[in-house]
Amino acid sequence: MKRKILYLDRDGIINKHIPYVGTLERFHWYYEIFTIAKYFQKKGFAIKIVTNQSGIQRGYYSWEDYTKICLHMLREFERIGIDIEIRTCPHRPETNCKCRKPKIGMFLDERHKDDIMIGDQNSDMLAAKNAGIKNRWLLSENLNSDYSTKKFLSHAKLLKYLM
């Protein structure tokens, strides 16, 4: 049986959106994400992070530095009982790879009608739409997207909606 998947963007959803977060010193949690992820895991969702990280190919930070952040994230989620998988596109936009959002390379799982994507950029919403994900939730104060199906102004408002 297909398992439902909650796809999460990283920068702006898991951590504060600062351009090119490639070191632990620049990584600052949105702590509400743990409650959100726990909620969906209890509802039977697998949790998958799908993130564009062109700072790697641009040379702003190394795979090694990026891996340290991923391990930090995995440990923190695991510590509170949440299993996550991380999928990364390290490419610059002009390389025209198949994995960089809004392309669907990080979304190649079998679709379930209840899959959800939560992101803060148009590219997140368009990637989810292109991948056939019907529930596309934009989490942003200033951005609107023609591709989203719900919009939340903050993590707190999303939590209020869930609870």
What are 40-94's pLDDT values in tens digits?
999 999 999 999 999 999 999 999 999 999 999 999 999 999 999 999 999 999 9
Q: Rounded to two decimals, what is the model's pTM?
A: 0.95
> Catalytic: 9?
yes
Q: Which of 9, 115, 120, 124 is catalytic?
A: 9
Give bridge partners of residue 84 from the DSSP assignment: 47
The three-state secondary structure class of 7 is strand
Contact in structure between 119 and 13 (CB atoms under 8 Å): yes
Q: Compute the distance between CA of residue 41 and CA of residue 127 in angstroms, rounded to an integer.
A: 22
pLDDT one-digit tens code per residue, 135-150: 999 999 888 888 999 9
Residue 130 phi/psi, 5-degree rounding, is: -60, -30
Domains of the chain: 5-162 (3.40.50.1000)
Give bridge partners of residue 135 from the DSSP assignment: 116
Q: Compute the distance between CA of residue 17 and CA of residue 120 in angstroms, rounded to an integer.
A: 9
Q: Which of 11, 115, 120, 124 is catalytic?
A: 11
> Catalytic: 109?
no
Residue 161 phi/psi, 5-degree rounding, is: -60, -40
The three-state secondary structure class of 124 is helix
pLDDT at 133: 97
